[in-house]
């Protein structure tokens, strides 16, 4: 029995260590034995982490105090030790303390909470790219609306047509379906660590790093919810309504989220894949995606896999 317990502890320890290493190598997705929030990969998510830790400084002492108080009352004032209970019906000091203390605690929580809420809906600068995410049963559709270039803006002012070859003048749209296990090889996404089961998609949302993204979210049939925990994004996708949010990824990589609103039988398999790339890679992808999204994604995936192999070889 003792050997079995030690083996179980050792196995759990090795699993936790492996999970921690996997979280470092592959951020932006859930991992086995994960206790904390996913790593913050955006300024808003970093603020959410801070607020979570800040709140714990209030929650933990309150829980300990209330548990200790309940234990003391049960021990000190049970029938055996307190055969004749007190008939006291009012205590001014206690009334004042238990009224003012919660008010002060709630104020300490409300002020940073409102500051975080304000930051979530007020980007630090004008968005440079707009992406509309439409939820369907059970996949996502993306429409890109890049900011106009100076030439395109001048054409619009002059009343002339913009250059159709300019990717900024041509909105890019595509659908993103869950990646089936039998399609991994053909898509070049066989690595389960990078493209996890039930999270990988055939076409990721591609965005540039260190860029303020305006996210417009709506539903095409029922209510969905676009949620990317590592990027601090969670916005409902409601049919007939356009909700707006913003985010900014500060690291390149591929990150995952899921629909977070119960939307039908395949709700469990409605993942969101966001691939964050350099500005140069994004411009090349956008130009290629204007004519063929699948080829543009395949080229980008192969390019990143090749670069990763070279780094690993070193």
CA dihedral defined by 253, 258, 260, 264, rounded to 10 degrees? 170
- Asked whether the CA dihedral 150, 152, 155, 157 is positive or negative, the reply is negative
φ/ψ of residue 144, rounded to 5? -95, 135
Shared-domain flag, residues 61 and 89: yes
Confidence band of 152 (pLDDT split at 50, 70, 90):
very low
Mean pLDDT of the chain, nearest integer = 83
Give 199-238 pLDDT, tens digit per residue.
999 899 999 999 999 999 999 999 999 999 999 999 999 9
| Weakest mean pLDDT among 1-5, 30-34, 48-52 | 1-5
Residue 202 domain-assigned (yes or no): yes
Q: Which helix (H) or strand (E) holds 255?
A: strand 253-259
- Predicted TM-score (pTM) of the model is 0.78
3-state secondary structure of 140: strand
3-state secondary structure of 247: strand
φ/ψ of residue 149, rounded to 5? -75, 170
Q: Region of 73 please: left (phi>0), alpha (psi -120 to 50) or beta.
A: alpha
Is the pLDDT at 58 greater than 60, yes or no? Answer: yes
Residue 78 domain-assigned (yes or no): yes
Domain count, the chain: 2
Shared-domain flag, residues 212 and 299: yes
Residue 16 domain-assigned (yes or no): no
Tokens at 216, concatenated: 């417009």
Task: Report CA-CA distances (Å) from 90 to 70, 93, 98.
Answer: 20, 9, 13
Shared-domain flag, residues 230 and 294: yes
Which residues on neighbouring strands pair with residue 144, listed in sequence order? 131, 172
Q: How far apart are CA 38 and CA 16, in angstroms?
A: 15
Shared-domain flag, residues 146 and 217: yes
Q: How far apart are CA 222 and CA 238, in angstroms?
A: 7
Find, among 290, 297, 299, the residue nearest to 172 by Cα: 290
Give 83-118 pLDDT, tens digit per residue.
888 887 888 888 999 999 999 999 999 999 999 999
The domain that contains 249 carries what CATH number? Answer: 2.60.40.420
Shared-domain flag, residues 52 and 145: no
Give 158-210 pLDDT, tens digit per residue.
444 344 444 445 679 999 999 988 888 888 888 888 889 899 998 999 999 99
Task: Report CA-CA distances (Å) from 70 to 73, 76, 79, 170.
Answer: 5, 10, 15, 66
Residue 6 domain-assigned (yes or no): no
Q: How far apart are CA 192 and CA 209, in angstroms?
A: 24
Last residue of a domain, one of 120, 148, 176: 120
Residues in the chain: 314
Is the CB of residue 108 less than 8 Å from the CB of residue 51?
no
Shared-domain flag, residues 58 and 188: no
Last residue of a domain, one of 101, 120, 139: 120
Q: How far apart are CA 189 and CA 193, in angstroms?
A: 10
Give 254-285 pLDDT, tens digit per residue.
999 999 999 999 999 999 999 999 999 999 99
Give 17-32 pLDDT, tens digit per residue.
444 444 555 677 888 8
Residue 110 lies in domain: 43-120
Is the CB of residue 243 less than 8 Å from the CB of residue 216?
yes
Residue 26 domain-assigned (yes or no): no
Residue 199: what pLDDT? 92
The domain that contains 51 carries what CATH number? Answer: 1.10.287.90
Residue 24: what pLDDT? 54
Shared-domain flag, residues 136 and 109: no
Q: How far apart are CA 201 and CA 273, in angstroms?
A: 6
- Secondary structure tally for the chain: helices H, strands E: 7, 10
Residue 218: what pLDDT? 96
φ/ψ of residue 67, rounded to 5? -65, -45
Shared-domain flag, residues 230 and 135: yes
């Amino acid at each position: 029995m003792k050997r079995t317990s030690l083996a179980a502890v050792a196995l759990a320890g090795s699993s936790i260590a492996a999970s921690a290493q996997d979280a470092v190598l592959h951020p932006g997705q859930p991992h086995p034995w994960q206790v904390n929030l996913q790593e913050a990969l955006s300024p808003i998510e970093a603020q959410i982490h801070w607020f979570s830790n800040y709140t714990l400084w209030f929650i933990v002492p309150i829980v300990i105090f209330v548990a200790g108080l309940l234990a003391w009352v049960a021990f000190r004032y049970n029938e055996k030790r307190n055969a004749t209970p007190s008939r006291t019906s009012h205590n001014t000091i206690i009334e004042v303390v238990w009224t003012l203390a919660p008010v002060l605690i709630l104020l300490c929580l409300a002020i940073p909470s409102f500051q975080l809420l304000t930051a979530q809906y007020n980007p630090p600068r004008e968005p440079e790219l707009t992406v509309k995410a439409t939820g369907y049963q059970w996949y996502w559709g993306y429409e890109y609306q890049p900011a106009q270039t100076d030439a395109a803006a001048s054409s619009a002012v002059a009343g002339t047509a913009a250059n159709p070859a300019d990717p900024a003048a041509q909105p890019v749209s595509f659908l993103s379906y869950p990646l089936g296990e039998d399609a991994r090889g053909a898509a070049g996404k066989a690595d389960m660590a990078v493209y996890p089961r039930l999270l990988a998609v055939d076409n990721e949302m591609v965005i540039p790093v260190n860029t303020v993204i305006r996210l417009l979210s709506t539903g095409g049939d029922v209510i969905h919810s676009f949620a990317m925990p590592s990027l601090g994004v969670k916005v409902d996708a409601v049919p007939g309504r356009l909700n707006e949010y913003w985010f900014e990824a500060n690291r390149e990589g591929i990150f995952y989220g899921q629909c977070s609103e119960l939307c039908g039988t395949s709700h469990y398999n409605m993942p969101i894949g966001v691939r964050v790339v350099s500005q140069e890679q994004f411009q090349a992808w956008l130009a290629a995606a204007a004519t063929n999204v699948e080829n543009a994604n395949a080229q980008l995936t192969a390019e990143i896999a090749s670069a990763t192999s070279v780094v690993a070889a070193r």
